[in-house]
A and B are shown apart, each in its own frame.
Chain A
Amino acid sequence: MSEAFIHLADVRKVFKSRKEEFLAVSEVTFDVQAGELVSLVGPSGCGKTTILKILAGIHSYEGGTVRIGSKESPFDPSKDIGIVFQQPLLLKWRKVLKNVLLPAEILGLPHKESLERAHYLLEMVGLQGFEDKYPHELSGGMQQRTAIARALIHDPKLVLMDEPFGALDALTREKMNLELLRIWRESQKTILFVTHGIQEAVFLGTRVIVLTSSPARMADNISIDLPYPRTLDMKTHEEFGKYTRHLYKHLGMEVGNSDKSGEKSAIK
């Protein structure tokens, strides 16, 4: 097997405040191959965003190793990373097109090519015709799609997505999932996708990594062997259900009203 694109081993993160130390991430270990779309799930506040920020080089870490890039796919942390946060974080004084161009401007990429690429990306995320709108004239989903286009403008090898669809309604969310899969397959990028949704994680991922609640530890790391392109009706397939049941169990939620779950709540 070739060298992994992302390699994390025993990563620890401690947040120090004036009075106390808080262990946010403990012994997190996983590899991501180039071109994979890996979902990262875990309870709220468990440390998912923290892990993404460590990968992006925003946070330091206290122990372990983090390596991104391989011989086949070298990695320049300033140019090869695209981030989509939980909120769109658009500049409200810039029109959509200029927002998408921001990373290209910062990196000093040639303007003409970037402009072409911006138009292409906006079309890809379904925002053609909205280039000259200001963010406040867009819906939440459209703002988030603008943020996705912005994350891709400099053609990064790695895209980190932190619950990008968290604020969307279920229907829009499913549509965005399909679009994301299409974008991923067209662009051959490596994507790390943080989500709360088990269904979403299984539907999108080549693999799902499950983290425990705070501090984040590895709970599971399973390969999702469902074929691509994935379609919404796969969610009703037996195979899909097996994966989601398995993950729900791992997150401490029994599925169905079996005796076991009854016992648990009785004990509580």
Chain B
Amino acid sequence: MNDISKQVRRYGWIILIHLGVVIIWYLWVSISKVPDYVMPSPIATILSLGEDYGWIHNTYVTAVEVFGGYFLAVVAGVSMALIFNWFQLMEKMFMPLVVSLNMIPKVALGPLFIVWLSYGIGPNMLISFSICFLPILLTMERGLREADPDLLDLVRTLRASRWQIFTKIQLPGSLPYLFSGMKVAVILAVAGAIVGEFIASSEGLGYLMMQVQVTMDTAAMFMAVLLITAIGVVLYGIVLLLEYFFLGYGPNEI
């Protein structure tokens, strides 16, 4: 079978299964007669976009928080992993601290951030950052240590410089680990931003959900959840594209 028809089949299935879920949702709602405020139908959900809830603005705000927090976490996580790898002393001193920090349920820090920084896009971005930074740091740090010792010996006999070892062996070898960490971090970044908005905010999809909860507009809540998910899916898609670009060379099971 050729490649194109394979791809068509694959994506065809994905779309079909998603459509199937929507249809089952629709059928269930119309047959079982659950009240609208408990379970809105797919149609009601889409129609809620017509309400004047500032969808575009709120989606934009949440997206900025998620993407911003995530981007910061990738930059900081990767840089810190590099520093730890280059300066073993730093790693010895701070790695145990990082591991303990990792045990804190970051969501619990939300209220503190708000106290310290007041509320808004910045603090929510920070919550998102703090929750997805550690998995990126830890996986990258692990990936950099992963190089085969015999291979390192081999290039050291050639008097490879530290920079050569880093660029030719450690860094490319660490990418599969980094990407597995980055994929986990996507979901965390979204969760972080939304939690921030739940705690205190005046804009964003999480804020909107709190508003419409009061009026029991479940359809709008559904729509907000779908949009939040969509933000995550877009971010995940970007990560997958990057992964394909950097690791397209073969199987990368980790």
CB neighbours of B247 from chain A (8 A): 93
Band of interface residues on A? 20 to 34
Complex-state Cα separation, A158 to B250, whole angstroms: 34
A7-15, A78-86, A181-189: which lies at the interface? A78-86
Q: Count A-B contacts at CB 8 Å.
A: 55
Residue on A nearest B159 in the bound complex, by CB = A78
Q: Count of chain B residues with Cβ under 8 Å from any Cβ of A?
A: 21
Complex-state Cα separation, A117 to B247, whole angstroms: 28
* Residue B111 interfacial (CB < 8 Å): no
- The answer to whether A106 and B160 have CB atoms under 8 Å apart is yes
- The answer to whether A89 and B150 have CB atoms under 8 Å apart is yes
- The answer to whether A93 and B172 have CB atoms under 8 Å apart is yes
* Residue A91 interfacial (CB < 8 Å): yes
CB neighbours of A85 from chain B (8 A): 150, 154
- The answer to whether A107 and B250 have CB atoms under 8 Å apart is no
- The answer to whether B250 and A58 have CB atoms under 8 Å apart is no
Given contacts A92-B249, A93-B247, A136-B250, contact A53 B153 (CB under 8 A): yes
Residues A21-60 near B (CB distance < 8 A): 53, 56-58
B1 smallest CB distance to A (angstroms): 20
Given contacts A56-B157, A106-B164, contact A87 B150 (CB under 8 A): yes
CB neighbours of A79 from chain B (8 A): 158
Residues A80-105 near B (CB distance < 8 A): 81, 83, 85, 87, 89, 91-93, 102-103, 105
* Residue A197 interfacial (CB < 8 Å): no
CB neighbours of A91 from chain B (8 A): 151, 168-169, 172-173
Complex partner residue of B154 from A78, A83, A136, CB under 8 angstroms: A83
- The answer to whether B172 and A89 have CB atoms under 8 Å apart is no
A15 smallest CB distance to B (angstroms): 14
B245 smallest CB distance to A (angstroms): 12
Residue on B nearest A86 in the bound complex, by CB = B150
* Residue A77 interfacial (CB < 8 Å): yes
- The answer to whether A89 and B250 have CB atoms under 8 Å apart is no
* Residue B156 interfacial (CB < 8 Å): yes
Given contacts A89-B150, A92-B250, A136-B251, contact A102 B155 (CB under 8 A): yes
The secondary structure that dominates the B interface is helix
CB neighbours of A87 from chain B (8 A): 150
* Residue A240 interfacial (CB < 8 Å): no
- The answer to whether A58 and B156 have CB atoms under 8 Å apart is yes
* Residue B148 interfacial (CB < 8 Å): yes
B244 smallest CB distance to A (angstroms): 13
Complex-state Cα separation, A58 to B152, whole angstroms: 10
- The answer to whether A78 and B151 have CB atoms under 8 Å apart is no
* Residue A134 interfacial (CB < 8 Å): yes
- The answer to whether B249 and A58 have CB atoms under 8 Å apart is no
CB neighbours of A89 from chain B (8 A): 148, 150-151, 154
Residues of chain A whose beta carbon lies under 8 Å from any beta carbon of chain B: 53, 56-58, 77-79, 81, 83, 85, 87, 89, 91-93, 102-103, 105-107, 134, 136-137, 154
20 contacts across the A-B interface (CB closer than 8 A): A57-B157, A79-B158, A83-B157, A85-B150, A87-B150, A89-B154, A91-B169, A91-B172, A91-B173, A93-B172, A93-B175, A93-B250, A103-B158, A105-B164, A105-B168, A106-B155, A106-B159, A106-B160, A106-B164, A137-B250
Residues of chain B whose beta carbon lies under 8 Å from any beta carbon of chain A: 148, 150-151, 153-160, 164, 168-169, 172-173, 175, 247, 249-251
**Sorted from nearest, which 8 A-B pairs have the closest CB atoms?**
A78-B159, A89-B151, A58-B153, A106-B160, A106-B158, A93-B172, A136-B250, A134-B250
